[in-house]
Structures are given as structure tokens and as C-alpha cells.
Amino acid sequence: MEAWLLLQFVFSGLTSGAIYALIALGFCVVEKSLRIVNFAQGDFLTLAGFLTCTLLEALRLPWPLAALLAVGGTGLAGFLLERLTLRPARSRDPLTLIFITIGASIFLHGFFKLLWGKNPRILPAPISGPPVRLFGASLTRESLLVLGVALVSVLVLQAFYQFSRPGKALRAIAANPRAATLLGLPVPFLTGLSFFVAGALGAVAGLLIVPITGVSFDSGVILGLKGYAAAVLGGYGSFPGAVLGGLLLGLMESLVAGFFSSGFRDVFAFGLLLAVLALRPRGLLGKSEGERFS
């Protein structure tokens, strides 16, 4: 195999991996507040894609404004998911809350199909221009945008949780919600805030991937599961781990598809998830329970 072709597979894998990383970051945000897996995370991606298509087609808004409204609207949907489904359950049992998110995801699939139909839609690309040529391989402007957004997202989130008062409060809630309540922290509001952020991250991932792949009512299912696989691979709850896991997963998928067959992409991703859960549940950068909130 020629070197330029191998490099092309690497570029393609890193682009896909950056999308997985953004979805994985949303999983990690929810984990840091409720310590659960939000299986509706992929549906935020779908919602953002449909909202943007509607704003562009029906209201003819400019792309930046439509994207901003879609991110805000999807973040609000995440907030409402926590407020209307998880909070009324009055339970901190992770298994109960996880099943609620699965039910919410099933409901959203039906809602999307009813409102927008079964036919996929395509968004116009947010940027255009000739690809960047490097050693014979091409890197599109969209790929550069995806990689840049993923890098900025992890840096902002890491700084938010490490240095800001709301971020430290969210870590305290995840570590011991009862003690956080006794200390006077607004636990319900902060938990809802974490879902707003998770929804916004899913929306950003959707706005980046939908111009490439399109969006349909169930397009977030596979991407959501791959984002979860990336989060587990990197270390569930670790923001740098989410990015590392996403990039590695995308890179390995691309190489598997290039050297063997594209039909093995999904098989490889979920096989890798099972292997990591069995052999190293903490992932590459994950911490033990005693270290997680130190």
C-alpha cells in the first residue's frame, strides 16, 4: 500500500474519531453529575441536525444563526430530559436512571419519525474551500474544523470542571450528592445544567457530521453507541480520555476498513467495546473510584 493512501486513511479516521470524541464528551459530562450512562446522547445529534435543517429551509436563517439556535435548543432538550424524566423518578439508583434514558431514546426516535419523516436530510457544509494537500493525501476543510472543535471542547470542559465553581460543584455532587445538598449546593439546577451541556455537545457533533452523512430519525443510534465505546476506551468520565478514545476508535476503524473491508467497521467498534469492558474497564486514562474525584 502506498504511503499517501495510508495517510488518507489516517485523516479519515481522525475526522470520524473527533466526532466520536464529541459524543463521548457528552457521556462524560452526565457521568460527572449522576454517574450514569445517558443512552439518549446520540439522539441530541439527530435533533440538532433536524432543527438546523428546519431553520435553514423554513425560516431561511443564515447558517451561523441556525446552528447557534440548534445548539441552544438541543441543550434545552437535554435539560428537559433531566427535568421531566429523571428527576420525577426520585431515584439515585443508576440502573433505574439508565433504563429511563433508554425509554427516552425510544420515545425520541418515534417523535423524530412523526415530525420529520423517514427520509434523510442533508445540511450544507458550514465551510468550503479546496482541501489541504499533505504528502499526496487530502484533508478537507470540514475535517480540519471537526478536529479543531473537538480540541477546543475538551480544553474548555477540562478547565470548567477543574477551575470554575460550578464545575467543582458538579464534581462534588457526583462524589456525594447528600453531602453536596447539606452544604447548600443547588443540586437540581446543577444536574440539569450538566444535561444542557451534554445536549449542546451532542448538537455540535451533529452539526459537524450531518453535512457529511446526512440525518435520519435513527442516525444517532450507531453514532451514540460508538461515542459510548470511545468514552469507555479512553476512561469513562475522563475528558482527555474521551478525546483519546474517540480518535483511536476512528483511526482503527478507518484502518480496518482500508486493509480489510468497510463491513467490519461497526463489528470492530463494538467488539473493541466488549474487549475493553472485559479486560480494562477503567479504560486508558480512567481513574479508580478513590482517585476519580480527587
Q: Is 152 exposed, middle or buried (0-12, 13-18, 19+ CB in 10 A)?
A: exposed
CATH architecture of 3-124+135-279: Orthogonal Bundle (1.10)
Measured CA to CA, the distance from residue 283 to residue 280 in angstroms comes to 6
Per-residue tens of pLDDT for the chain, all 294 residues:
567 678 888 888 888 898 999 999 999 888 887 788 899 999 999 999 999 999 988 888 998 899 999 999 999 999 999 999 988 887 778 888 899 999 999 999 999 999 998 888 887 777 777 777 877 777 788 888 888 888 888 888 888 888 888 888 887 877 777 777 777 888 888 888 889 999 999 999 988 888 888 889 888 888 898 999 889 888 887 888 888 889 989 888 888 887 777 777 777 777 877 888 788 877 777 665 545 544
Q: What cell numbers appear for 25 in the block?
A: 464528551
**Distance from chain centroid for Cα 232:** 12
For residues 167 and 201, give the distance between their C-alpha atoms in angstroms, rounded to a whole number.
16
Distances (CA, A) of 55 to 47, 64, 71, 126: 12, 11, 12, 14
pTM: 0.88
Q: Which residues of 153-188 are buried (b: 16+ CB within 10 A; e: fewer)?
A: bbeebbebbeeeebbebbbbbbeebeebeeeebebe
The CA distance from 45 to 206, in Å, is 4
Q: For the chain, what are the domain ranges?
A: 3-124+135-279
How far is residue 160's CA from residue 156's CA, in Å, rounded to a whole number?
6
